[in-house]
């Protein structure tokens, strides 16, 4: 099947496998609106979506809008989100960005990468998730898991998530990015984990998987 298949052809086949397995692409983080999605994505940094979904009901019961969030002390936010990790940093970011949304955007979540990335605690990956999942703007959020799978499948040899994002955007049609990045996440969890992975029974690695092991660069994990 693999032979001398070109990278574009391989990418198209992988995309078809993923679409067949996951025709629906629900957003894995529970949220009520653009603002609660932004907060949930921020909390998901170095934390599983499942853990975030366990924490956000308590947080959003107390504060589900920027105005309500700034009414809480950062220390109170920190106590609620502690299970997500990095709680001192994340609580300050949540409180700070909520104040900025009130001061600068009348409480609304801005709809540009530049404005989102200027908010405390919001990097390019978080902004990409919000732009794609809240506003439907084509984006390809690449976390360490997608980075690992793209390398494993020979779609990218990027040494960091930024290069992998560029490689994937070149390989896949722009109108497929939003669904595709979620399909890769779903597939990784079910079929292609970082540890205990058997490539012989993986629907994609059995066809295209590299034989050598993935080695995260510098501080990258997963």
Cα distance between residue 13 and residue 7, in whole Å = 10
Dihedral angle over CA of 159, 162, 163, 165, nearest 10 = 130
Residue in 125, 166, 198, 221 annotated catalytic: 125
Closest among 143, 145, 140 to 171, alpha carbons compared: 140
Check 10, 90, 143, 167 and give the catalytic one: 143
Active site residue 82: no
CB 161 within 8 A of CB 220: yes
Verify whether residue 62 is a known catalytic residue.
no
Give the chain's largest Cα–Cα span: 61
Nearest to 132 by CA among 165, 98, 175, 102: 175
- Please state, in angstroms and rounded to a whole number, the distance separating the CA atoms of residues 170 and 150: 13
**Residue numbers annotated as active site:** 125, 143
């Amino acid at each position: 099947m693999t032979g001398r298949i070109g990278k574009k052809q391989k990418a198209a086949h992988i995309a078809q496998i993923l679409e067949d397995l996951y025709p629906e692409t629900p957003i894995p983080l529970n949220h009520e609106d653009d603002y609660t999605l932004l907060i949930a994505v921020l909390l998901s940094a170095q934390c599983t979506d499942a853990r975030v979904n366990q924490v956000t009901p308590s947080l959003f019961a107390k504060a589900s809008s920027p105005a309500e969030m700034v009414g809480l002390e950062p220390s109170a936010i920190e106590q609620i989100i502690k299970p997500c990790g990095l709680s001192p940093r994340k609580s300050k970011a949540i409180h700070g960005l909520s104040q900025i949304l009130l001061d600068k955007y009348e409480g609304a979540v801005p709809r540009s990468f530049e404005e989102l990335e200027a908010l405390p605690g919001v990097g390019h990956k978080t902004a990409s998730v919000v732009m794609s999942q809240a506003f439907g703007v084509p984006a390809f959020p690449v976390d360490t898991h997608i980075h690992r799978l793209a390398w494993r499948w020979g779609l990218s040899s990027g040494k960091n998530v930024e290069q992998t994002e560029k490689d994937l955007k070149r390989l896949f049609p722009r109108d497929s990015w939003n669904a595709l990045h979620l399909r890769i996440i779903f597939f990784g969890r079910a079929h292609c984990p970082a540890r205990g992975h058997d490539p012989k029974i993986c629907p994609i690695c059995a066809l295209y998987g590299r034989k050598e092991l993935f080695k995260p660069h510098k501080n990258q994990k997963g």
